[in-house]
Structure 1
Amino acid sequence: MSDAHNSPVRGLGFAFAAFAVFATHDAVIKALGVNFSVFQIIFFAMLFAFVPMSVLMLADKQVDNFRPRHPWLILLRSVTTVIAMSTAFYAFTVLPLAEVYALLFATPLLITAMSAVLLGETVRAQRWAAVLVGLIGVMIVLRPGVTQITFGHICALVAALCSSFGSVIMRKIGSEERTAVMILYPMLSSIIFMALMLPFVYRPMDVAELGLFASVGVLSVAAQVMIIAAYRIAPAAVVAPSQYSQILWATLFGVLFFEELPDMWVGVGASIIIASGVFIVWRESRPSVSIRLPLLRNANPRYDTGPSPQPKHRQNDGND
């Protein structure tokens, strides 16, 4: 591949831009959550995202039909996507942005653990230690017994858990199922479920508010396109850690727009979680590590995105 198409610096630029857009997307969700139900936000966001995503999928000449090869696993992934999106969106509306991100950052750790337990992925002592240390960071953010654990905190953890499970399903069927199928069915499931809930929660919108709803969908699609571009021209080990930059944007947006300032313990816990995630990415990127790479194979474990392009297999000695 030529240098023009294989550029870690350009890939990292796309990735940082994508996660800045994702953080903006989440800040808009938080602003809308003051007046609107999560179900209404998701319905209109997905509706506005559906058209550009459909165009992108139809432009893929490799897709001759949208019939899933693993219908039950696609259904299960669709269910986990709906739950993850609903709980994450709710957490954004009731908790400080940085605090939500700190908890969602446990997703890569959970992917690593689930891949070992459910798929038999090779995860040895050092990565297990990183998972445990990361989970200690989660407990520092939550501080049970010291601060009140709210329904918003529980929702953020459920979002991380469901997103991780969805990524493990994607890992299992990713080599056989088409990307368009793995994006289309969760998206349609989200729209249908939210449409069923809409009559119970709908509130009228003015033009400006409708524009905000549309922006959530458009920002999501734009960020996904940039993420795909990043993974196509840079190694996953370079791109994956950039997701943690979202907490910087979350802190900035929280201070500027929502009068939020994360306390010291959220910062400490988030730092531990991020360090654990970056360590796992670094371990998986080493030439001596097994080709079974649960995190790098799910390098963009975000609740509202489709699968990222998979890193190429490596031949190695299988030692971790």
Structure 2
Amino acid sequence: MTKQSNNIPLGIMLMIATTLVFAVQDGLSRHLAGQYNVLMVVMIRYWFFAAFVITIAKRHAGGIRAAAQTQQPLIQITRGLLLAFEICVMIAAFTILGLVESHAVFTSYPLLVAALSGPVLGESVGWRRWAAIAVGFIGVMIILQPGGQVFDLRALIPLLAAAMFAIYGLLTRYAGRRDSTATSFFWTGTVGAVAMTLLGVWFWEPMSGQDWIWMGLLCVTGVSGHWLLIRCYEVAEASAVQPFAYLQLAFVSIIGISFFGETVSANVAIGCAIIVAAGLFTFWRERLKS
């Protein structure tokens, strides 16, 4: 069994880095999915992902056999499939709702992870952390404006992605109790690559030279982002670092406005500020405890 630490400051730093990388990745995904089939885009990304994790595995002691060794293959396969399908669902949402509105709905996933980390993972969630989660939830409600335009049937697409990603996050933390980051990373890349190849190969279409450059950048951000996320859950409790995952909404909004001409309404800006404040309060409390 792999010994897990609970280095909360390091976990928070890793989560912030993860959100920034994911925001850049989402901007690239929206551009490519606007030109090509979503399944093909995700398939090519996973080819690079799988090649990378296999190369890394070969360079470590024991090679691929050691990296693939796990006592919980069902958990690892489920994780890999969940992430691959979640990526497809979320990229589809980008092309339908746009980056900002999709993430306004998707922002609910950290609340699901933090709330479920106690009953599912047995982690301790104190009242101050619950308070931060509650404040973050208020921020989400301000963004979503129940009954407003964002709450139409299309909003169910990123909401489904949020639920899938929350479960993936919890399973990642659970898998980390017995498996190393390298093992989880290996299974994430290979399982996703197999699943997406079976689906995406039927939707192949030629790409321009410039879009291959964007695809290359997408592949790099995809690999680095998910490695950071796995490492984050390995070093710190999920409920402690989740408030900082809200920062992805801020990063995505900047990209959506700057590169895709999207707009951020007053309610989104106010809600985002509340969510970030909740995360910063949690960090401040952890610093005091240390």
Q: TM-score, normalised by structure 1?
A: 0.72
Distance in 1 (alpha carbons) for counterparts of 2:227 and 2:84: 21
Distance in 1 (alpha carbons) for counterparts of 2:126 and 2:165: 23
2:176 corresponding residue in structure 1? 174
Deviation at 1:99, TM superposition (A): 3.2
Deviation at 1:114, TM superposition (A): 0.7
Deviation at 1:69, TM superposition (A): 1.2
Q: Deviations over 1:177-221 (max 9, x none)?
A: 122221222222222222222254333323322332222112223
Distance in 1 (alpha carbons) for counterparts of 2:118 and 2:100: 29
1:54 corresponding residue in structure 2? 54
Structure 1: where are the runs of 5+ without partners? 1-7, 289-320
Moved more, 30-39 or 121-130: 121-130
What does 1:32-111 align with in structure 2 at a 5 Å threshold? 32-61=32-61, 64-111=66-113
What does 1:136-215 align with in structure 2 at a 5 Å threshold? 136-215=138-217
Q: Deviations over 1:230-267 (max 9, x none)?
A: 9999xx99998765554444233222321111111111
Distance in 2 (alpha carbons) for counterparts of 1:221 and 1:118: 27
Moved more, 171-180 or 259-268: 171-180
Structure 2: where are the runs of 5+ without partners? 1-8
> How many residue pairs align between the two structures?
280
> Contact 2:129–2:240 (CA<8 Å) still a contact in 1?
no
2:26 corresponding residue in structure 1? 26
Question: Which secondary structure state, in structure 1, belongs to the residue aligned with residue 264 of structure 2?
Answer: coil
2:48 is matched by which residue type in structure 1? F
Change (3 A) 1:201 1:219: same
Bigger RCO of structures 1 and 2 (CA < 8 A, at least 6 apart): 2
Larger fraction in helix: 2
- Aligned-residue identity in percent: 27
Distance in 2 (alpha carbons) for counterparts of 1:231 and 1:170: 7
Distance in 2 (alpha carbons) for counterparts of 1:277 and 1:101: 17
Deviation at 1:228, TM superposition (A): 8.6
Deviation at 1:285, TM superposition (A): 5.2
Question: Which secondary structure state, in structure 1, belongs to the residue aligned with residue 216 of structure 2?
Answer: helix
> Contact 1:85–1:159 (CA<8 Å) still a contact in 2?
yes
Question: Which secondary structure state, in structure 1, belongs to the residue aligned with residue 193 of structure 2?
Answer: helix
The CA RMSD over aligned residues, in Å, is 3.7
Distance in 2 (alpha carbons) for counterparts of 1:280 and 1:181: 30
What does 1:245-256 align with in structure 2 at a 5 Å threshold? 245-256=247-258
Question: Which secondary structure state, in structure 2, belongs to the residue aligned with residue 183 of structure 1?
Answer: helix
2:219 corresponding residue in structure 1? 217
> Contact 2:40–2:200 (CA<8 Å) still a contact in 1?
yes
> Contact 1:237–1:282 (CA<8 Å) still a contact in 2?
no
Distance in 1 (alpha carbons) for counterparts of 2:261 and 2:178: 47
> Contact 1:50–1:187 (CA<8 Å) still a contact in 2?
yes
Distance in 2 (alpha carbons) for counterparts of 1:277 and 1:46: 31
Change (3 A) 1:28 1:83: same
Change (3 A) 1:265 1:282: same
Question: Which secondary structure state, in structure 1, belongs to the residue aligned with residue 68 of structure 2?
Answer: coil
Change (3 A) 1:57 1:264: farther
Change (3 A) 1:119 1:256: closer
> Contact 2:43–2:193 (CA<8 Å) still a contact in 1?
yes
Moved more, 30-39 or 216-225: 216-225
1:270 corresponding residue in structure 2? 272
Q: Deviations over 1:46-90 (max 9, x none)?
A: 112332333233333376341221122212222321232222222
Change (3 A) 1:66 1:285: farther
1:28 is matched by which residue type in structure 2? L
Question: Which secondary structure state, in structure 1, belongs to the residue aligned with residue 262 of structure 2?
Answer: coil
1:43 is matched by which residue type in structure 2? M
Deviation at 1:34, TM superposition (A): 1.2
1:135 corresponding residue in structure 2? 137
1:250 is matched by which residue type in structure 2? V
